[in-house]
Amino acid sequence: MSSRLSVIFYIILCLELGAALVVLPWIPYGWLGLSLSDWGNNYFLVMAARKTGLYGLQGLVASGWVRGAVSGLGVLNLAMGFWELFHFRQTVRALDAGLPSVESSPRKTSETAATNAAASAKTDPLSDYPRRNR
């Protein structure tokens, strides 16, 4: 049950963050009565520009190139959310089985198990046995 909820919350997070990153850079101040600040003229950006002395930072962030890059990240988040939505059962099964990734091959898993077994054979020669029996 917790794996299902984890995947559901991950999907919701990806879709909401993606929608916000696609839309927010392009909303002008006061559009439809929204009190959202202008993308290139917000409080935190002004404070960062004043503290660092990079007054061209506002112009850079307000440029169409940066807005497009942020919107592109939003599109990638939306794509991840929809991919997880369409592969929901496969992801839940992978989480329940404890697989390292969804698309792992059996050969890679056996190699990983062999590597882990070899690493566990090389334990620390100094045990903590005397500390346990105090």
Give the model confidence (pLDDT) of 39-92 as tens digits. Answer: 777 778 888 888 888 878 778 887 889 889 999 999 999 999 999 999 888 888
* Cα 39 to Cα 52: distance, rounded to the nearest angstrom: 19
For the chain, the structural domain boundaries read 2-86
The whole-chain average pLDDT of the chain stands at: 77
End-to-end CA distance of the chain: 41
Q: What is the pLDDT, as a whole number, of residue 69?
A: 93
Please indicate, yes or no, whether the overall pTM of this predicted structure exceeds 0.75.
Answer: no
Q: What is the pLDDT, as a whole number, of residue 14?
A: 93
* Cα 34 to Cα 23: distance, rounded to the nearest angstrom: 13
**Which tops the pLDDT comparison, 133 or 47?**
47
Nearby residues of 34 by Cβ (< 8 Å), 6 or more positions away? 27
Q: In the predicted model, is pLDDT for residue 96 greater than 80? A: yes
* Cα 37 to Cα 126: distance, rounded to the nearest angstrom: 60
